Amino acid sequence: MSKYKFLLLTVVAVFWLAATPVSAQTIVYIPMDDRPVNLDYVVDTVKAVGVNIVAPPAVLLGSRNEPGDPDGLWRWLFEHTPVADRMVVSADSLLYGNLVGSRTHNIAMNVIEDRLTNFAKLKALNPAMNIYIFSTIMRTPKSGEGGEEPSYYEVYGPSIFRITTLRDQAETRGLKSDEKSELRGLLDKVPQAILTDWYARREKNFSANRRLIDYAKNDTFAYLLMGRDDCSPYSQSHMESRHLAAETVELPMSKYASFPGADEIGMLMVTRAINNATARTPIVRVMFAPGAGRDTVPSYEDVAVGQTINAHIFAAGGIPLNAKLADLTLAVNTPEDGITHEADSTFNRGQFRAAPVALAADAALEAASGNRLAVADIAFANGADNVFMSELRKRGLLFKLESYSGWNTASNTIGYAIGQGMLAGEMAPVDKNRLLAVRLLDDWAYQANVRGAVGTEVLFPLGGNWSYLDKLTPQIMVETERRLRAFAAANFPEYPLNNFKLAFPWNRMFEVKIDLYDSPKS
């Protein structure tokens, strides 16, 4: 075949793919657990685009205290391959049951290896299928409570974290004499049986991730994304990510990525699958608040946010490019000094700060120029920036955005803002605004304001526990709903949000599930 004929056929194929209606696609999706950010909100986003999405029953995914069913999920996946055009699936769920299961399991390595073999079987049965896999490098938290780590981590977690910090530093820069002494003391402090258990589980997960990388190398997967869950610049997670990076140097960025984050990567992967299915490569221009900007290293992460944002854009199937004709502008609200405090801290009580005001003014100019605008609000961890949001409200921008996100970690926020922002152009305005309303209620109203107030003024005076609401759930739910409605009425009254259902899916204050029935106007 001549090179000209090949070029012509390639062009025809590209146009044919681009003409394929997105609604003709069906994605089979397995999230990393049953939390709304991983399951419900991802499904809602895909449906708003008009794409069919099929997810397993939540009972197979387990929850915080209930293990998922990996073998049941594999059976479900094999049964649903006939309806799939593309698969977006969590390796953590298929190997360990769910994300928490990956941190707490006692599964024999031969069982994990058998489950890993299923990926090759899946591809052999469906050789033309594009399979998008996401996994996590097990986190190394500074402390542990609430049932998401082995029970001993509540007592020994800080010491284990510090041990891994020093061991990581020993590999990268060496230890000073006082640090060596500190490490010996910590190793004497933590019982050997506990360290053996903790490291043995990590070794299994590390080996499984190496196998997943091998599958990416031999094209079993169309794409592999490995999130670094709650990582720190020096930790066991950071050490493992360095070692895994050495095994992926020959993998192109079109096949593999690894960066900080976890709960946003399901959203990123369905976005990539949809972009690939329709031969779209969105160009994203990024703008930051004045100050540290792209050099900010957020809490719970180990690299500068500018690098993380570019990696998220590529993973979603886009290109970061400072171009006037970009498909999407991402406005990133970073702290002026580069330090991301918690959203419920005194720093977020509405005191004037110049950086978020300046970014809001720039965002208004973008919107006035007709540019599609997404917002990643990462000035604070675990909630929105009240000053910035008030400025967006004053300028009438809240529902002129393509997407908004300001929850949990910086990467969680960035992934949602990019994913929903890229897909919003395919949504009806009423559906796009419904997704925005959920984020405004969750990230701004609940996480940055109502959550802390209800905890301090209602939950704790009743003797309640932040991590286990139990019998106080009905009372806390009523009070939370009342305050959310009041917040919405005060801050976006033109979009009445009276009819929504609230739930605490993991029996704790940390996250809520919001089902919105009274959608904002288009």
pLDDT of residue 21: 54
101 torsion bin: left (phi>0), alpha (psi -120 to 50), beta (else): alpha
Co-location of 135 and 260 in the same domain: yes
Domain that holds residue 485: 441-522
Residue 161 lies in a domain: no
H helices of 173-287, in order, are 177-189, 192-217, 236-246, 265-277
Cβ partners under 8 Å of residue 401, min gap 6: 367, 373, 374, 375, 392, 436
Q: What is the DSSP string of 343-355?
A: TTSGGGSS---HH
Helix 410-423 vs helix 265-277: angle between axes, to the nearest 10 degrees? 30
pLDDT value for 17: 42
Q: For residue 169, what are the contacts with CB-CB under 8 A and spacing of at least 6? A: 175, 179, 234
Q: Are 61 and 31 in contact (CB under 8 A)?
A: yes
Question: In angstroms, rounded to a whole number, what is the distance separating the alpha carbons of residues 294 and 335?
Answer: 10
CATH number at residue 374: 3.40.50
Rounded to 5 degrees, φ, ψ at 99 are -65, -45
State the SS3 of 34-73.
CCCCCCHHHHHHHHHHCCEEECCCHHHHCCCCCCCCHHHH
Same domain, 352 and 474: no
Identify the pLDDT of residue 375: 98
What is the total count of domains within the chain?
A: 3
pLDDT per residue as tens digits for the range 351-366: 999 999 999 999 999 9
* Closest to 452 (Cα-Cα) out of 382, 516, 405, 404: 382
Q: What is the pLDDT of residue 19?
A: 42
450 and 423 within one domain: no
- pLDDT 10s digit of each residue in the chain, 522 long? 444 343 333 333 443 444 445 556 899 999 999 999 999 999 999 999 999 999 999 999 989 988 899 999 999 999 999 999 999 999 999 999 999 999 999 999 999 999 999 999 999 999 999 999 999 999 998 887 777 999 999 999 999 999 999 999 999 999 999 999 999 999 999 999 999 999 999 999 999 999 999 999 999 999 999 999 878 889 999 999 999 999 999 999 999 999 999 999 999 999 999 999 999 999 999 999 999 999 999 998 889 999 999 999 999 999 999 988 899 999 999 999 999 999 999 999 989 999 999 999 999 999 999 999 999 999 999 999 999 999 999 999 999 999 999 999 999 999 999 999 999 999 999 999 999 999 999 999 999 999 999 999 999 999 999 999 999 999 999 999 999 999 999 999 877 776 789 999 999 999 999 998 755 555
Place of tokens 């060496």: 174
Rounded to an integer, what distance in angstroms lies between the CA atom of residue 321 and that of residue 325?
A: 10
In this structure, the answer to whether residues 491 and 403 fall within a common structural domain is: no
- Is residue 240 domain-shared with residue 330, that is, in the same domain? no
Alpha helix segments (H runs only) across 375-465: 386-394, 410-423, 429-439, 451-454
Largest Cα–Cα distance of the chain, in whole Å?
Answer: 79
Backbone angles phi, psi at 284, to 5 degrees: -120, 125
**What pLDDT digit, counting tens, does each position of 240-268 carry?**
999 999 999 999 999 999 999 999 999 99
Output the pLDDT for position 7: 38
Flag whether 162 is in a domain. Answer: no
Predicted local distance difference test score (pLDDT) of residue 12? 35
Is the domain of 366 the same as that of 514? no
Closest residue by Cα to residue 356 from 415, 306, 291, 308: 291
Examine the fold and report which residue of 379, 403, 427 is the final residue of a domain before the chain moves on. Answer: 427
Q: Are residues 416 and 288 in the same domain?
A: yes
What whole-number percentage of the chain has pLDDT above 90? 87
Query: Do 350 and 455 have their domain in common?
Result: no
Contact, 418 vs 313, CB < 8 A? yes
